[in-house]
Amino acid sequence: MSFASLVEKTKTGFSPTFWIANVIELFERFAYYGSKAILAVFVADQVGLGPEKAGWLVGSLFNGLLYFLPILAGTIVDRFGFKKSLLACFSIFCLGYLLIGLGGLPQGKPLVDALGAEVYMILALVVTAAGGSLIKPSIVGTVARTTTPDTKELGYSIYYTLVNLGGAIGPILALQVRENLGISFVLVMSSLTSLLLVLATLVFYSEPKRPADAPPPKTMAGVLADMFLVFGNLRFMSFLVIFSGFWAMFWHVFYALPFYVRDVLGFQQFEIIETIDAWTIIIVTVPVTAIARRLSPLAAMIAGFVLASASWFVMGAFPTLAMTVAAIVVFALGESTQAPRYYAYVADLAPKEQVGTYMGFAFLPIAIGTFIAGVSSGKLVAHYVGATSGGTFHPGPGFAYASHMWYWVGGMGVVSTVLMVVYDRLVVRRPRA
């Protein structure tokens, strides 16, 4: 396809609802990634729970639910429609982000004291995650219904680009709010953004028509039955568990790297470092995808794992800000190498009658990965970096060798890479009876 025809298809090939949904998603990503950039630091320092509990609450509990619940939330979206689901999502987000932010503000102190800081944050994070579970099925579903076979690939590319743009800009916006108003107000701004999205959805978003030949919405019992069938596919489940190692590495960018950059490297604007992965992906995805097409799906994924794993050893060996940035760029190259092939591979593994269910499970490694990273990042930060208490920083017992924490993260990647090679040799290439 020529560049001119691509531009023309972008201008004329999509309905207003497609563009409205994607703009809504962009602003939702600003709110999500803006809060995500500071959330571990906020819970550890501002709420006062320390890095270990912050890693567990933010990574394992909150983000784990956020990426696991969409498997079930798709049933709700199908039954009530995209518009009602988006309105519910943004309304819950508005409340949830505000509750989280109040955990670090004087106005919320009576409620936090009454429940206890940890219990309060658990409740606030679970509420927010429940709302967030509705966003992906609604927006991705809108893209599916508002594109044709001729425009679908471009439509998903636009969606993916805007998601990464949100991931790149959101933390920068969070930095401005944190430096000018305070870290708690990043959550307040995410809440206000969600309120605006409620109004935008009410006024501008139109429910796309359900295809005439679409099957009736599944019941929750039907979804659970499909889930048990997928869990019974050991080949598929083993692949997902192995692949979760990539995301276990990735989430350390948000749960451990901010503490390291701020307290070890002395760079206070840690949000900027968190955006490097997203900016790199935006720039290199097209050329890297073109190169990776020459490889088989498993080979491309293994190559991505190798690059991603190597990045953490680079970060561990060279404890400087410049090399930390370079290492994240290498990680992003690995992500760009494997990501497009991963989803195509999952679709190929799925039985024709269960493609939708299997694609829902494609997000399971993200949930498993964030659960692992939530536990490991807190322990790594507590040991190798330290914690802030009462405004005073207390170095951890391993502070003198702080950069060595990244060898543990790289080790996760090495184990996952080896397992992926074993899976390729013993499962994929094994002759079937």
pLDDT in tens, 74-95: 777 877 888 999 999 999 999 9
Comparing C-alpha atoms, which of 231, 247, 422 is closest to residue 338? Answer: 247
Q: Which among 155, 128, 124 is positioned nearest to 139, based on CA atoms?
A: 155
Count CA atoms closer than 13 A to 141's CA, side-chain side.
27
CB within 8 Å of 58: residues ≥ 6 apart: 39, 40, 43, 125, 254, 255, 374
Domains plus CATH for the chain? 9-203 (1.20.1250.20), 218-433 (1.20.1250.20)
Q: What is the pLDDT of residue 196?
A: 97
Determine the Cα–Cα distance for residues 383 and 166; give it in Å rounded to an integer: 32
pLDDT of residue 5: 55
Give the chain's residues under pLDDT 50: 3, 431, 433
- The Cα–Cα gap between 62 and 359 comes to 22
* 147 neighbors 18 (Cβ within 8 angstroms): yes
pTM of the prediction? Answer: 0.89
pLDDT at 232: 81
**Amino acid making up residue 196:** L
The secondary structure of residue 2, as a DSSP letter, is -
Q: To which residue do tokens 């599916």 refer?
A: 144
**Model pLDDT, residue 285:** 77
- pLDDT given for residue 331 in this prediction: 97
What is the structure's pLDDT at 352?
Answer: 61
Q: Give residue 433's pLDDT.
A: 43
Backbone phi, psi, residue 251, to 5° = -70, -10
